[in-house]
Amino acid sequence: MKAPLGSYALMASGLKLANGALVQSPTAINIDVPASCSNSGGIPLEAPVSYSIEFSSFVDFAGNTSVPNDYSNNLLNNLGNLTGTKPYLRIGGNTQDFAIFNASLEVAQVGIIIPAVSPDYPRNLTIGPRFYESFTTLPDTKYIYGFNLASNGTQGRQSLLATAQHACQALQDGKLAYWELGNEPDLYDRTSALGARRPESWNEADYVNEWLNGTRAIHDTIAQYCPSLAGNSSYKYYAPSFSGTGNTHLDPLKTWEAGLDADKDIGLISSHNYINGATVPGVTLQGTLMNHTNTIASVALQLNESAHLAALPASLNPSLPFILGETNSLYNQGAPGLSNSFGAALWGVDFALYCYAHNIRRVHFHQGTNYRYQSWQPVETDLVARGTKAPY
């Protein structure tokens, strides 16, 4: 289609006018659009644009029964109206593996920030029954709930079973999408935000044994308190939720071969992905986020992993959809001036569409209170005003 000179086509061509005179002739660009999609095209799942909310930030994003966060709900509804399905919310991240349940706690949560670990979220997190009020405040929203796998002592085990009871009761009546057990367990055996939580000898078989032991105990608890969520079709997980493809200490293929899905309760294969790090030298907006070659290279690693998983025998992996259960621009909560810029918004669109086109079927952009790469700040703090940010 040709448009009159000086119309939007002129602007789209990047032409400049000097003293009212045309300084460059327009160049016609013809784009052929196929009449139908190819068989190799991606097939996004429902809610292809979704979010991952840091566990310790969930109450800020959702509010509670007394003061629901209508601001967050309106923003989620806007996206639901555009895509056809309200975004799914994965409640997890590093702090899901810090959270310990205390039935006598009178507030939703108590967190203690240790700046040497992170100034952005609490290293010690205690949650109480009121934490689960927040699952009632965002109508027509489906959740992925993240259980704590890292805390595997007596206190952690008791907490796991207590949260299974409270979580299933809060997520009945259509709120539950999937469960998740452990955030980035491939990093447990080394010093990370968690600190080293497993010995260096910890391997794929050890992880699978812990995961199966945990998921079976969770299932027994849910069957007792929420039997409608314990059936084969409703009791499903995001897994294994590893940290990525280049820095993993556990091999996803070996994990599946060790029997991760022995109980056939994994619904989606979930991996995590960040383009780069917030404090890595040389990271720039133009050279890192607004560089499509970087996006292609980053997604290619995930596609290579998903292809190898798909090639496993059907008894190990029956063609499960592959998603990014946590992703964003720059890990460590993003960098000011980069992750909160309009350029990062353009990156998000490019990244998501490239994922969908290559059959990564849902992406959850990670969020947290005061995070630099957040799509919106849900509450007023002494660091950040409540408001909608560029990535949204």
Catalytic residues: 204, 326
SS3 110: strand
Bridge-based pairing state of the strands 376-377 and 363-367? unpaired
> By C-alpha distance, which of 294, 291, 384, 292 is closest to 340?
384
> By C-alpha distance, which of 146, 140, 90, 97 is closest to 117?
97
Per-position DSSP letters for 133-175, written without gaps between them: GGGGSSTT--EEEEE--S--SHHHHHHHHHHHHHHHHHTTTTT
Task: For the chain, give percent helix, strand, coil, nearest 5.
Answer: 35, 20, 50
Contact 85, 46 (CB under 8 A): yes
Q: Which two tokens stand for residue 356?
A: 């969908």
Bridge-based pairing state of the strands 176-181 and 237-242? parallel
Burial environment of residue 263 by CB neighbours within 10 A (0 to 12, 13 to 18, 19 or more): middle
Could you give the CA distance from residue 295 to residue 366 in angstroms, rounded to a whole number? Answer: 17
Could you give the CA distance from residue 238 to residue 269 in angstroms, rounded to a whole number? Answer: 6
Print burial letters for 272-291: b (CB count within 10 Å at least 16), e (below 16).
Answer: bbbbbebeeeebebeebbbb
